[in-house]
Structure 1
Amino acid sequence: MPSRKRAKRSYSRRFLLLSVLIVLAILAYTGGWFYAANLLETRTVALMDKLNLHQRRASCEEPNARGYPFRIGLFCRSVFYEDGENGISLSAGAFRSAAQVYEPLRTVGELDGPARISIPFLPPLEANWEEMRMSARLTTTDLPQRLSSETRKLVLTLEEPENGGVATAEVFQAHTRRNGADVDVALIVKRLALDPAIAGDAAVPPLDGEMLITVTDGVELIEQRNPSLRGRSGRVGNLVLKTSDENASITLQGPVEIDPDGLINAELSVTVTEPQTVARLIADALPEQRDQIEGVIAGLSGLGKAPTLPVNIRQGRVFIGFLPIARIPPVQ
């Protein structure tokens, strides 16, 4: 009988000890989570202060870490960025991010619209969307390893005149990644439709597009205080523009350089799929140049259903073979 009582007391002590250890572990985890949350908020404020220099302003309104107990993320009531020196500004609604506590450098986020965008040489724009999701692979340095975003039901309008249409897109994706010292950039758009007022009442069908470019020494470019593309080089890995409802497409590939004066030099190959359809669509969009367009495409049609031709750009002048067809103004 006494042995049973001793066994029961021993079991009770072990149970009590286990309970105490569990409570201590929860308290330690909770303390660690709130310490990390406070660190996240503090570093966010420090980053905003770092960005608010040299005619730049950045804001994460009321930064607040949330997600306890299993996640941790930053919430802002609104976000804002302005680069007065380069004439760039962006403001948007609430921002929410989250990461698993065991993998804090891999984070996902959402951004609410509308966003107001101002960039040089274009009127102020307003962007709205049904859903915008983002993901990032962070590092211990300021520059992430990867950044991605996907926007659905995107609508672009002009702020003045009020509600002036620009374009809509079913899906718009943007991806960047560090590739050693270089930076890869990929853009994808589905069913891009231009507003008739922007297209000049031209018959432009819905378009799909893909672009993959590599910017040589792109990490250094991003880290510069006043980044400029002049004196830079890269490669267009793939640039595709096609009709959403037909097989007609134009694909472009090749190396590109920009000289110190901002003039583009490139050796590109351009593949035209279904050239007759491409000719019809371009002629419908640019009726005043119908005869010239149909003449060029007629020559390509004899080369098959997907002819490829070289396109060279020399100091901003565009050549097909030896024939100059356009001039590209200097870039910044």
Structure 2
Amino acid sequence: MPSRKRTKRNTSRRFLLFALFIVLAILVYTGGWFYAADTLERRTITAIEDINLGQQNVNCEEPTARGYPFRIGLFCRSVSFENAETGVSVNAGAFRSAAQVYQPMRTVGELDSPAKITAPHFPPVEANWDNMRLSARLTTRLPERVSSEATNVVLTLDDDTRQPIARADSIQTHTRQNGANVDFAFIAQKLSLDPALTSGATIPALDGEVLLSLDDGVALLANARNGLRGRSGNVQNLRLSVAGTEAGLSLQGPIRIAENGLIDAELRVTVNEPQTIARLAGDLFPAQRDQIAGITSGLANLGKAPTLPVNIRQGRVFVGFIPLGRVPPVR
């Protein structure tokens, strides 16, 4: 009998010690989580203050860390960005991010619409979307990767008319470090423009894709006060096509921006179904309709997807030896 009582007492003692260990572990974990949350909030405020020392102004209204117990992320009631030098500003709704506590450098997030966008020489625009998701792989300095995807995007004039000017089924952006360079991607599906933006011409819905690499882009992003002048890169693919068809054009080639802001580039342009593209381009740019027709008249004899050189010299655009126009200098 005494041995049974001792066994029961030992079992009860082990159970009590185990329960105390669990409680202690929960308390330690909770303290660690709230310490990390406080650190996240303070680092966010410090990072914003550092950015705002220059010509840019970034704001996260009421930054708060949430997600206990298994996640941790930053919540902002609203977010905004303003560049005093370029005059571009963006004000959007609430921002929410989350990461697993065991993998805090991989985070996902959501951004609420609407976003009000202003830029010089353009009327103010309001952007709305059904859902915008973001993801990032963070490092101690710059993010290694950042991606976003918004669905059912509608751009509307931010004035009394509230006129929709463009819409798209989805818009994606992707940025990643590639050694010292930075790769960018922009993808739009079924982008349609209001005829008011195309001089009354009705343009079918378009699919677009831009893939480019910026030389020494990591150094440029690390110091946002540096501009694009004196920079070079490579257009890996710039494709614009009529949604649901093969008609479209794509271009590739190196590009450089001189110190005076003028562009130099050696590009190769491939045109699928030249007659269709010539008709659409003529509707978009009626003043250049004859030039466009002259360029494309001989392309039909070269097949359904001919390729031709397009060179930009100090901002002047040439298709072969034929001048096509000028590209304004980059600021």
Fold match by TM threshold 0.5: yes
Aligned twin of 1:206: 205
Question: Could you say which residue in structure 2 is the equivalent of 1:118?
Answer: 118
1:56 & 1:320 partners in 2: Cα distance? 39
**Residue number in structure 2 paired with 1:257:** 256
Q: Provide the rounded CA distance (Å) in 2 between the counterparts of 1:85 and 1:292.
A: 37
For residue 190 of structure 1, what is the amino acid of its counterpart?
Q
Tell me the distance in 2 between the aligned counterparts of 1:135 and 1:199.
34
- After superposition, the Cα gap between the structure-2 partners of 1:10 and 1:134, relative to the gap in structure 1 and judged at 3 Å, is same
Deviation at 1:111, TM superposition (A): 0.6
Following the alignment from structure 1 to structure 2, what is the Cα–Cα distance between the partners of residues 324 and 293?
11
Match of 2:309 in 1: 310
Q: How does 1:96-175 map to 2 (within 5 A)?
A: 96-141=96-141, 143-160=142-159, 162-175=161-174
1:138–1:323 distance in 2 versus 1, CA, 3 Å? same
Structure-1 residue corresponding to 2:89:
89
Tell me the distance in 1 between the aligned counterparts of 2:208 and 2:262: 25
Q: CA RMSD in A?
A: 1.6
Identity level (%)? 61
1:229 counterpart residue number? 228
**Structure-2 residue corresponding to 1:40:** 40
In structure 2, distance between residues paired with 1:166 and 1:283: 21
How far apart are residue 224 of structure 1 and its match?
Answer: 2.5
C-alpha offsets along residues 291-321 of structure 1, whole Å, 9 cap, x if unaligned? 5433422201111111111111111111111
For 1:313 and 1:289, how far apart are their aligned partners in 2? Answer: 18
Distance across 1 between alignment mates of 2:226 and 2:159: 29
Is the 1:202–1:286 contact (alpha carbons within 8 Å) kept by the matching residues of 2? Answer: no
| Residue matched to 1:277 | 276
CA distance in 1, matches of 2:13, 2:289: 92
Residue 268 of structure 1 is matched in structure 2 by 267
Secondary structure of the residue that 1:134 maps to in structure 2?
strand
- In the superposition, the TM-score normalised over structure 1's length comes to 0.95
Give the match's secondary structure for 1:19. Answer: helix
Contact 2:55 2:225 in 1 (8 A): no
Partner residue in 2 for 1:188:
187
The aligned counterpart of 2:177 is: 178
- Equivalent residues of 1:147, 1:177 under 8 A apart: yes
* Aligned residue type for 1:217: D
Other structure's SS at 1:190 match? strand
Per-residue deviation, 1:56: 3.5
8 A contact 1:81–1:89 mirrored in 2: yes
Shift of 1:85: 2.7
Q: How many residues align?
A: 331
Indicate how the Cα distance of structure 1 residues 95 and 250 shifts in structure 2: closer, same or farther if over 3 A, else same. Answer: same
Q: Which amino acid aligns with 1:216?
A: D
Query: What CA deviation, in whole Å up to 9, does each residue of 1:112-160 have, x standing for no partner?
Result: 111111223322221111111101111112x111111001111112223
Structure-1 separation of matches of 2:181 and 2:144: 11
CA deviations on 1:74-126 (whole Å, 9 max, x unpaired) are 11111122222331211111110000000001000001111111223322221
Give 1:227 deviation, angstroms.
2.6
- Which residue number corresponds to residue 17 of structure 1? 17
Q: Conserved in 2, the CA contact under 8 Å of 1:75 and 1:96?
A: yes
Secondary structure (helix, strand or coil) at the match of 1:296 reads helix
Instruction: Write out per-residue CA displacement over residues 219-252 of structure 1, whole angstroms, 9 at most, x where no aligned residue.
Output: 1222234231111100000110000032101010
8 Å contact from structure 2 (residues 153, 167) kept in 1: yes
| Deviation of the 1:255 alpha carbon | 0.2
Amino acid at match of 1:167: A
Q: Secondary structure at the match of 1:302?
A: helix
Write the distance in 2 (CA, Å) between the matches of 1:76 and 1:266. 42
Shift of 1:289: 4.7
* Aligned partners of 1:165 and 1:197 also within 8 Å: no
Residue 241 of structure 2 aligns with which residue?
A: 242
Following the alignment from structure 2 to structure 1, what is the Cα–Cα distance between the partners of residues 118 and 226?
Answer: 18
- Distance in 2 (CA, whole Å) between partners of 1:161 and 1:200 is 21
Change in Cα spacing, 1:22 to 1:56, as seen in structure 2 (3 Å) is: same
TM-score by length of 2: 0.95
CA distance in 2, matches of 1:249, 1:263: 27
Q: Find out whether 1:71 has 2:44 as its counterpart.
A: no
SS in 1 for 2:168: strand
Question: Cα 1:194–1:104, aligned 2, differ >3 Å: closer, same or farther?
Answer: same
Where 2:269 maps in the other structure, the secondary structure is strand
1:230/1:56 CA distance change after superposition, 3 Å: closer
